[in-house]
Amino acid sequence: MPLDPEQRAAPAHATGAVEFVALEDIAPDEAFRLRPEGDVSDLATSLGRLGQLAPVELRPWPGAVPGGPRFQLVAGFRRLAAVRMLARERVLARLHGALSDGDAWGLALSDALLREPLMAEELGALRDRLAASGVAPWAEELVEDALARAPVSPELRERWLEFLSGAPAASPTATPTPTPTATQPPTPTPTPISARTAPTEEVVEVTPEELVDDLAARLSALNQDLATALEAWEELPEEGKRVLVEQARYMASALPFMEAK
């Protein structure tokens, strides 16, 4: 997508100073929170081992009063929660002296919307690389946790969203038939055996209500089977468990889309 000159220009706040800020100076404001903090124990472990590598983003708090908190958190809610878990008194922050609401939302959304997480295949390669090199053994458990949360492949996600939106499946590109000439008679196109022998399938139309009822019944039965599989999870073959995890992750990735609609 081409960018207009305004998008290409560096914002005036891009050179905000980075310094440590006392936690008590940050207002308990959630105007720019995008999601619950969730479990930040792994992040706290990383911060405790390596230190805080990325600062949180702060701007002057519009609701500040004398003697009270001075800054509003724009981005870095999970990092701040991890710092609090470590019982620290200050956090590394980038201070933006003047930040409009639009630019503040840009900072808040950039990580959530633009950052590409590692896929399962990439995480698997990273795990093997760390194991072979022997470096950072403490990261092995973190990689395993990341594998459990890894998003599905873009192809699966697109197919699922197409299914939910009712978009027709992409059909294979037909091979063009050459145009016969005066000296070349048309070549007859053979009919595939399946088309000659198989009966024509009747197209059955369903209403949205019928589709929902049928899908709900099938998902209910599937959930019962999945509950049975979970009871015997340790006895299942590794390849089968991998496939089940991939399919479950695929369904989970569609949940935000379904809830938003």
Same domain, yes or no: 83 and 38: yes
55 located within any domain: yes
The pLDDT assigned to 168 comes to 57
Q: Which residues contact 241 (CB under 8 A, 6 or more apart)?
A: 233
Give the pTM.
0.52
Does 34 fall in a domain?
yes
How far is the CA of 16 from the CAs of 25, 94, 99, in angstroms?
Answer: 17, 6, 10
Most confident listed range (85-99, 124-138, 202-216, 228-242):
85-99
Site of tokens 């990383």: 46
Q: Are residues 133 and 110 in the same domain?
A: no
Look up tokens 């619950």; give the residue.
36
Reduce the DSSP state of residue 194 to 3 states and report it.
helix
Q: What pLDDT is attached to residue 22? A: 95
Q: H or E segment at 238?
A: helix 238-260
| pLDDT for the residue numbered 91 | 95
Asked if residue 59 is part of any domain, the answer here is yes
Query: Is 50 exceeded by the pLDDT of residue 132?
Result: yes
Amino acid code (one letter) for 40: V
pLDDT at 92: 95
- Whether residues 156 and 260 share a domain: the answer is yes
109 and 141, same structural domain? no
Find which of 1-5, 13-17, 160-164, 201-205 is predicted with most confidence, using mean pLDDT: 160-164
Residue 159 and residue 253 in one domain: yes
Residue 7 lies in a domain: no
- How much of the chain exceeds pLDDT 70, in percent? 71
Assess whether pLDDT exceeds 90 at residue 1.
no
Diameter of the chain by CA atoms? 95
Task: Quickly list H helices, 134-207.
Answer: 140-149, 154-165, 193-197
Tell me, rounded to whole angstroms, the distance of Cα 100 from its chain centroid: 27
**Within 10 A of 26 (CB to CB), how many other CB atoms are there?**
20
Q: Are residues 75 and 34 in the same domain?
A: yes
Task: Establish if 233 belongs to a structural domain.
Answer: yes
Averaged pLDDT for residues 193-201: 44
User: How many domains is the chain built from?
Assistant: 3
Q: What is the Rg, in whole angstroms, of the alpha carbon atoms belonging to the chain?
A: 27
Task: Check whether residue 91 and residue 137 sit in a common domain.
Answer: no
Are residues 140 and 213 both part of a single domain? no
**Most confident range, picked from 166-170, 196-200, 252-256:** 252-256
92 and 53 part of one domain = yes
Residue 183, domain member (yes or no): no
Return left, alpha or beta for 166; rule: phi > 0 is left, psi -120 to 50 is alpha, else beta: left
162 and 256 share one domain: yes
Domain span including residue 127: 120-149
Residues 218 and 258 in one domain: yes
pLDDT tens digits, 70-102: 999 999 999 999 999 999 999 999 999 888 888
Mean pLDDT of the region 196-215: 62
Residue 141 sits in the same domain as residue 89: no
**Cα 75 from Cα 33, distance rounded (Å):** 8
